Structure 1
Amino acid sequence: MSDPILLGLSGALRQNATNRRLLREAARLFNPGTFIEADLNLPLYDGDLEDSAGIPDKVQLLADQIARAHAVVISTPEYNKGPSGVLKNALDWVSRTKGRPWADKPVAVMSAAAGRAGGERAQMILRSFMVPFQPRVLVGPELHLADSSNEFDGQGRLISDRYEATLRELMQKLRAEAGF
């Protein structure tokens, strides 16, 4: 079997967003052969755009990356008690592509947020967004990184042993679910 490909989706676009840092920590602990951080800076879904121009190349690339990955890890911020519009938009666009890239795909969900609940509501809602795609979303352990801007050191590593242990367990379960 080839080395595992792990695809990371961050619901935050900022380069140094804590959800992107959390994805990179997940990749380090998953230890993939290849880690790809998806680009979710996509046009807003618009049925008229789809009708006139088809699926944008960046959307098709994302769908192809999902299909090729052995496993996917998604990290969502919590904006106004839900996942980001960026993430929802990406899911909506991918749902319009041919094939079923998410079908039976091992997926881990996590969240990082400024609040003390660490994005728990956003993560719960994101899990419900995934239902129509029928991936194999892990049920746990849940990782809700609270006060996330204060949870990384200068090298982007998690400071808290508790959070790192939870993330390590989540990534071990994702590796096993992907058959590695």
Structure 2
Amino acid sequence: MQEPHLTAAALLLLIGGTMPAAAETCFRQCLAPRLTDSAIPDDRIRFEMRRCRDLCEGEALARVADPVRRRVESCRPEPLSLDEFRAVRGASPSYVVQSNAFTWDVRNPLPGKVIREIEIVAQTMDLRDTVMTAAGTVMPGESETLLVAGFFDGYPNARYATKVRTIWACSLD
């Protein structure tokens, strides 16, 4: 049976307390002061995660000049090549699954490309694959956290069978 609350150690890991690189993202900075009580229920954690995701997405786009922002907002993302995919995976820490939420602090090392979406695959309880997506804006050279708030990790192997399958990006050229 899954514990309804996070332990203090798990909460610290979730908000990046032991992961210095994770604390750099807007999402992690936004979430940390909102999760100070170890008895916060999972649904409240996911609510705060969605609030932080929305706030940070707005801030990421606000930092970009108008012509580029319009291009990013209207682009149709395409899957990265295998080499580009590997570059992003290699530059980014592992994803975290906690409180039925999937977060990944994505670092974009690709010049001229804006990461807009990731596609993850996980297994359901009957061992069928299910595909979920997380959208956001990760500009070249920046790191942002992408979130899937409805990620069910109801059995132990779900975490081990989960993988990032596709990363979608738009070219700035």
TM-score exceeds 0.5: no
**Bigger proportion of residues as strand:** 2
**Bigger proportion of residues as helix:** 1
